[in-house]
Amino acid sequence: MTETLNLPVLPLDDVVVLPGMVVPVRLADTEARAAIDAAQASGQDQVLLVPRLDGKYAKAGTLGEIEQIGRLPGGAQAAVIRGTARVLIGAGTTGPGAALWVGATVLNEITDAQSAELAREYKTLITSVLERRGAWQVIDSVRQVNAPAELSDLAGYASYLSDAQKLELLENANVTERLTKLIGWVKDHLAELEVSESIQKDVQEGMEKQQREFLLRQQLAAVRKELAELDGSTASEEEDYRARVEAADLPEHVRKAALTEVDKLERTAEQSPEVGWIRTWLDTVLEMPWNERTEDSYDIREARAVLDADHAGLDDVKERITEYLAVRRRRADRGLGVVGGRRSGAVLALVGPPGVGKTSLGESVARAMGRKFVRVALGGVRDEAEIRGHRRTYVGALPGRIVRAITEAGSMNPVVLLDEIDKVGADYRGDPTAALLEVLDPAQNHTFRDHYLEVELDLSDVVFLATANVLDSIPAPLLDRMELVQLDGYTEDEKVVIARDHLLPRQLERAGLSAEEVSVEDSALRLLAGEYTREAGVRQLERSISRVLRKVTAKLALGEDLGGSVTIAAENLKGYLGSPKFTPESAERTALPGVATGLAVTGAGGDVLFVEASLADKETGATGVTLTGQLGDVMKESAQIALSYLRSHGAELGLPVGDLAERNAHIHVPAGAVPKDGPSAGVTMTTALASLLSGRPVRSEVAMTGEVSLTGRVLPIGGVKQKLLAAHRAGLTTILIPKRNEPDLEDVPASVLAELTVHPVSDVREVLDLALVPAQVDAHQYAA
């Protein structure tokens, strides 16, 4: 049965009092003082404790018994009030004093069969929370409470519950529902406590580790300091970096960047990974020879003598280096010095077949100039960062190869050889040749910026030499930044000189022999160059010499009596190397009509190729042209043009062109396993077909090159010097070249031109007149 009471209201701001709680209430404000006075005036010593949250009164309150009125330790007056029951607030009434009086209905607690079970579970949970806090006295008090209603109202003391949650408990008279809510809230709180304790434990362990590490490092620093004092040095590592930077001879912009990094190093914790990055960067900068330069050798005659002594031939490169040194000397003599931040560096591209001395030429250039030499191998490089360096944020970042090369050289003006620049690749990591554009541009490389260093680097005084076998794979913008020097191979006389003066002494030393023990006659060297090795360079020639000397060494080791000093002559060369591999074959190949000798350029230099033509039987019914020999598209088109020209002009030339219309023409270019392309075989294909149709063989001593047009014009081609050198090596004596290529003959060595008869031609008719055996001469008689 519910009880109705008339009570003065004591509002509590942001506080919720549940039944069973004892709380002190300050009587500083008017409302609290009035409520206490009204309760005492009525003689019942009871007040209604009403929560007032956010300025709004709650619907329910707590019946409070005034137990004591007195003063707090600070002197303020207060009343101690015990909550006894939850009440439902009704309408306003009247009563003594200035307090607000309302009617209040006492709510009876509602329990059921689940209340006791929920109470036990809640007691276990609340005990666990109190154990975590170490509140053992409170745990004893909680264990003594068994009534479910009283146990649920103890939640009023819980600091982890909000006032809104406590108000829910106050307004709900159902004990089971209150306990259910409390169990959920306490479980959530326990989960938060576990997470918080875990985090706190990790933080505590981390702090202890940091403190331990800090202590150990301080002790280590103290030990180092003591040891340094014993050694007479007192500077720390950071102070040492600062001293090194200030003592180093650095350009002003580099010094500023280095001191900034030293400041950062001093502010950064020792355990930070950034410390290692900064130290590595500072070491790299301090190792760079920022103001180190070697003095160029201005003795021009001596420099040219060094180049001539190291390499036979290669006059173009020698002249270019001599010009460079002469200009440098004149500028120095006239005090011109550096202009606009740029010096007078050179960028040369040495392009030629393998074995002609491109790489070794770099060392000779450096020696002639009195500079340091460093080689950068670019073959197979696919990552742009190899040239420009990595950003410092990457793990294992390094400066680019250009910066590393200068560091290795120990000078800011070395000779840098960029070897095999035509073998540079490109993939998803970028195109290294694009990164070389700035490096090899004399107008830009005085402010080259490496991604790792991030400071300007002056490359304008560096002499860059780039080597390549072919031009086709070098991007045009990159090639435009370099001075192109073609190395087209050596003549037979030059090979003999190189073999005698350079290759033979080197191979004698490697074989453990002396010049007194073994001598090689020039005739043997000439035979080696002409018939045992047919190449633009001298690598195979050196291997052949090495093979001969190894056999001599082996015979001496086996105890054979070679009669004192061994002399290798042309007549006994076969005993060491067997029969020659390259013998003149043009006369044999061109003895039959339909075969013509052409000239081509490959990655290995100039070469001789034969074009063969034949006609199918009429019975096959096939017409057109069949092409074999791994020909490229351009070469296939040359064959089509040659066929079309003969079909339309065959009558004028006195050729039975009817066979071309009725029978299938087959053009083959040995060797079939080697890919071939280019337009320069056009006249050779035309001549081979004309020879086949006319029955007149091609002169065995004649070779030709040139592009042919549909009107019979002979158009210019490239690589004239390499082709003539190849023809000379093959023993051919009459060469047909396009008329417009006549100026290129100036590049051909005079000794080669003296042994060749070169006919500049402009029309296919001239080619046929010069190349084909005259009609009245029997082919076998001509061959004989």
The two structure tokens encoding residue 351: 């392009």
Give the per-residue pLDDT at 720.
Answer: 86
Closest CA to 765 of 668, 637, 650, 674: 650
Report yes or no: 62 and 83 within 8 Å, Cβ to Cβ: yes
> Do residues 350 and 481 share a domain?
yes
Mean pLDDT, rounded, for 451-455: 85
- As a whole number of Å, the CA-based R_g of the chain is 51
> Do residues 138 and 251 share a domain?
no
> Do residues 498 and 618 share a domain?
no
Give the per-residue pLDDT at 760.
Answer: 92
Q: Domain span at residue 172?
A: 113-196
| 293 part of a folded domain | no
> Do residues 370 and 458 share a domain?
yes
433 pLDDT higher than 90: no
Range ranked top by mean pLDDT from 172-181, 242-251, 267-276: 172-181
CB atoms within 10 A of CB 413: 24
357 is in an annotated binding site: yes
407 is in an annotated binding site: no
352 is in an annotated binding site: yes
Dump the DSSP string for 714-753: EE--S-HHHHHHHHHHTT--EEEEEGGGGGGGGGS-HHHH
Q: Which residues are catalytic?
A: 680, 723
Report yes or no: 613 and 594 within 8 Å, Cβ to Cβ: yes
Higher pLDDT, 653 or 764: 764
Confidence of residue 603 (pLDDT cuts 50, 70, 90): low
| 294 part of a folded domain | no
> Do residues 49 and 136 share a domain?
no
CATH number (domain holding residue 598): 3.30.230.10
Confidence of residue 224 (pLDDT cuts 50, 70, 90): low
Give the per-residue pLDDT at 332.
Answer: 73
> Do residues 66 and 178 share a domain?
no
> What is the chain's mean pLDDT, rounded?
83
24 is in an annotated binding site: no
400 is in an annotated binding site: no
| 469 part of a folded domain | yes
430 is in an annotated binding site: no
Give the per-residue pLDDT at 181.
Answer: 92
> Do residues 459 and 320 share a domain?
yes
Closest CA to 326 of 368, 375, 288, 270: 368
Ranking 395-404, 553-562, 677-686 by mean pLDDT, the lowest is 553-562
**Distance (Å, whole) CA 438 – CA 446:** 9
The span from the first CA to the last CA of the chain, in angstroms, equals 147
Mean pLDDT, rounded, for 662-667: 79
Pairing of strands 625-628, 665-668: parallel
- Asked which of 443, 471, 486 is the last residue of a domain, the reply is 486
| 230 part of a folded domain | no
> Do residues 143 and 191 share a domain?
yes
| 225 part of a folded domain | no
| 218 part of a folded domain | no
For 168: left if phi > 0, alpha if psi spans -120 to 50, otherwise beta; the answer is: alpha
187 pLDDT higher than 70: yes
Ranking 70-74, 241-245, 776-780 by mean pLDDT, the lowest is 776-780
Torsion angle, CA of 318/319/325/326, rounded to 10 degrees? 150
Distances in whole angstroms, Cα of residue 58 to Cα of each of 15, 27, 166, 501, 559: 11, 21, 12, 114, 122
Dump the DSSP string for 434-482: HHHHHHT-TTTGGGEE-TTT-SEE--TT-EEEEEES-STTS-HHHHHTS
> Do residues 614 and 731 share a domain?
yes
- Asked which of 452, 486, 520 is the last residue of a domain, the reply is 486
Tens of pLDDT, residue by residue over 713-753, are 999 988 888 888 888 888 888 999 999 988 888 888 888 88
CATH number (domain holding residue 137): 1.20.58
Q: Please state, for a pLDDT cut of 70, what percent of the chain lies above it.
A: 91
CATH number (domain holding residue 551): 1.10.8.60
| 697 part of a folded domain | yes
Tens of pLDDT, residue by residue over 495-540, are 888 888 888 888 888 888 888 888 888 888 888 887 788 777 888 8
Give the per-residue pLDDT at 649.
Answer: 81
356 is in an annotated binding site: yes
* Total domains present in the chain: 6
Give the per-residue pLDDT at 131.
Answer: 85
Give the per-residue pLDDT at 748.
Answer: 84
Higher pLDDT, 269 or 755: 755
> Do residues 346 and 473 share a domain?
yes
CATH number (domain holding residue 350): 3.40.50.300
Q: Per the confidence metrics, is the pTM higher than 0.95?
A: no
> Do residues 425 and 477 share a domain?
yes
Give the per-residue pLDDT at 62.
Answer: 93
The two structure tokens encoding residue 301: 């005659």
Tens of pLDDT, residue by residue over 57-105, are 888 999 999 988 888 887 888 899 999 999 999 888 888 888 889 999 9
CATH number (domain holding residue 92): 2.30.130.40
Tens of pLDDT, residue by residue over 315-349, are 777 888 788 778 877 877 777 655 544 566 678 88
235 pLDDT higher than 70: no
353 is in an annotated binding site: yes
- Asked which of 547, 577, 607 is the last residue of a domain, the reply is 577
Mean pLDDT, rounded, for 135-148: 84
Mean pLDDT, rounded, for 442-457: 83
Torsion angle, CA of 268/269/271/275, rounded to 10 degrees? 20
| 75 part of a folded domain | yes
Closest CA to 650 of 688, 694, 612, 715: 694
Beta-carbon contacts of residue 395 (< 8 Å; ≥ 6 apart): none
**Distance (Å, whole) CA 153 – CA 240:** 70
Closest CA to 602 of 722, 706, 725: 722
> Do residues 568 and 595 share a domain?
no
600 pLDDT higher than 80: yes
